[in-house]
Amino acid sequence: MNEHRWLQWAQRIQAIAQTGLTYTKDGYDMERYEELREISIEMMREQTGEPYPIVKELFASEKGYPTPKVDVRGVVFQDGNILMVREKADGKWTLPGGWADIGYTPKEVAVKEIREEAGLDVRAVKLLAALDKKCHPHPPEPYYIYKLFILCEQTGGSPTAGLETSDVAYFGEHELPELSLNRTTESQIRLMFDYLRDPRKEVTLD
């Protein structure tokens, strides 16, 4: 059995509770959905060891119909190597990117993140992959996340670390540094190199 199946169960229970609390008009149903939400919080607290207030704030504080969060990663190649940045948060490497921002298109997010994290001006070219994080070997976390990988071409700038990054470098497919697995996995980077070898490869969609 998937070792992180408990996380999927907690996420589903939380989503059902949040949807019910959004639409129900019945007081009895409201109590039941609140109880479901509490169960999901307890499941997360038990598995993570985090205090109840932190789990509730991170995992069960949103209102309205629940939808996945979107993480956008920019993919830039140079001389057969891929652009990566070292995260200050954990000292490990990842493709530049982050949460999608309200008011920005996915292409605009990729361009903005690469500029902020790697100091490069780029043009977003095309979507390479739209992945569901649960289908890939990331560490567990409370959010349900879709990941978009967007191919970009450098138009200016020079590699420069930003506020959230400490280093910028290009790496070959078989010379990858220690990865920030919560953000990017080795298999995902190797998938990006597949697109370098075959630019006509279809978009990968989970």
Domain map of the chain by residue range?
Answer: 5-59, 69-205
pLDDT at residue 7, as a whole number = 79
Which of 34 and 83 is assigned the larger pLDDT?
Answer: 83
pLDDT at residue 175, as a whole number = 96
pLDDT at 135 over 90: yes
pLDDT band at 2 (very low <50, low <70, confident <90, very high): low
pLDDT at residue 83, as a whole number = 98
pLDDT at residue 54, as a whole number = 79
Residue 144 CB partners (closer than 8 Å, separation 6+): 11, 15, 66, 68, 69, 133, 134
pLDDT at 8 over 90: no
Mean pLDDT of all residues in 149-169: 97
70, 144 in Cβ contact below 8 A?
no
Query: In angstroms, rounded to a whole number, what is the distance separating the alpha carbons of residues 88 and 48?
Result: 23
The alpha carbon of residue 43 and the mean position of all alpha carbons in its chain are separated, in whole angstroms, by 22
pLDDT at 121 over 90: yes
Q: Given 3.90.79.10, 3.30.930.10, 4.10.80.400, 3.30.450.20, which CATH number is that of 69-205?
A: 3.90.79.10
H or E segment and range at residue 112: helix 106-118
The alpha carbon of residue 109 and the mean position of all alpha carbons in its chain are separated, in whole angstroms, by 13
> What's the chain's average pLDDT?
91
pLDDT at 10 over 60: yes
pTM of the predicted model as reported, rounded to 2 decimal places: 0.79
